[in-house]
Amino acid sequence: MSNLLCDIDHFKRINDKYGHFQGDLVIQYVAGVLQDQVRRDDIVARTGGEEFALLLSDVGQQQAQLIAERTRQTIINPGDVSSRVKLA
């Protein structure tokens, strides 16, 4: 089992500049991408304001790193206005 922890870079700036409604949309977008990147048996959880955890069953370190990078790239390169969102 692997555990990935991530958060949205500079999320406070997003909330401050665009408002909480837009911040909530960003959280929903990121949560959707995270859910799309894992298998049905894996778990995606929001653990804090802009923090998420992914529990990946039967996944080793190398595969977890590949999943993390693929997910990060999907979030930062969506091809629309959300491309300013970064994940760490």
- Each residue of 22-34: pLDDT tens digit? 999 999 999 999 9
Q: Out of 14, 23, 50, 59, which one is annotated catalytic?
A: 50
Q: Which amino acid is at 51?
A: E
> Phi and psi (nearest 5°) for 47?
-105, -10
Assess whether 50 carries a catalytic annotation.
Answer: yes
Q: CA-to-CA distance for 67 and 64, rounded, in angstroms? A: 5
Interval 45-67: pLDDT, tens: 999 999 999 999 999 999 999 99
Quick one: CATH architecture of 2-77? Answer: 2-Layer Sandwich (3.30)
Enter the pTM of the model. 0.80
